[in-house]
Amino acid sequence: MRAHEEIVSVHNPRVKLWTQLLERKGRAKHGLFLAEGIHLVQEAMRGGAVFDCVLYSLERGWPQELDTDGLADDVALVGVSEAVLAKVTDAMTPQPVVAILNKPRMDQNELLLHGRALAVAVDGVQDPGNLGTIIRSADAAGARAVILGKGTVDPFSPKTVRSTMGSLFHLPVVEADLLDLLPKAREAGVQVIGTDMRAAESCYELDLKADTWFVLGNEGSGMSAAVAALCSAQTYIPMEGQAESLNVAMAATVLLYESLRQRKYQ
């Protein structure tokens, strides 16, 4: 039988724990993160995410759009005050429902086994919106995984989770040491393609039907020299106008969709 609870005080120990999930350190400590809003909770259900509990506004009631049949029987529904919702979320206007979710885990060997066909690796991307868009584009293009190198923004921060629009729950998002993982990927037969405006071949000249991982770097400085040295090839996206460069998330989208076009829409 599903547990139903009520918490109205912001001083409740569980509220203090949930508040810690607003920070990367708290998420790492507890192995949990937040997904705010009806749409994200629905997508978490669809994607098979592991729920710890679901908070909802006592004042606004349980959202009619959410079917509890999508939750395991041991997942508690916790009615909370508006003050508690405001305490545990970072949105200007708190959503009526917030899921507390277990952070997914995947080891590198599993990634190499199941994520080879098409993936994106990012090296030091700092903006939550950029990372969220990359994850969303990877999902839309049918990529098997998004791999996050050291120095990359936390994919489980509330801003990043919101910007993925639920795609975070549809494909593995794996934090890894690219200096260790990229050589293993190449040994497994993956072509690891970095991005560099000085590259000899554009993305439209490369064969992207093979197992491919694209590597994209920091918004300002690009890939680190050490990561760039591990790529098997470099490519660039042609630009006909006067723009100096493409946003890193836009560049990822162009590359992913060129690979999709070559694979499916010749």
Q: pLDDT tens-digit profile of 140-192?
A: 999 999 999 999 999 999 999 999 999 999 999 999 999 999 999 999 999 99
Kindly state the DSSP code that residue 89 receives in the 8-state scheme.
Answer: -
* Calpha distance 78→4 (Å, rounded): 6
Q: Per-residue confidence at 114, pLDDT binned at 50, 70, 90? A: low
Element (H, E) at 136: helix 128-140
Q: Average per-residue pLDDT in the chain?
A: 92
Q: What is the mean pLDDT of residues 199-217?
A: 94
One-letter amino acid identity for 225?
Answer: A
* pLDDT at residue 202, as a whole number: 95
1 has pLDDT over 80: no
Residue type, 202: S
- Band of the pLDDT at 10, cuts 50, 70, 90? very high
Give residue-wise pLDDT tens across range 56-112.
Answer: 999 999 999 998 888 888 899 999 999 999 999 987 788 999 999 999 987 777 777
Whether the per-residue pLDDT at 213 is higher than 60: the answer is: yes
Q: Distance between CA atoms of 24 and 11, rounded to whole angstroms?
A: 21
pLDDT of residue 243: 84
The pLDDT of residue 221 is above 80: yes
Show the domains of the chain with their CATH numbers.
4-102 (3.30.1330.30), 108-264 (3.40.1280.10)
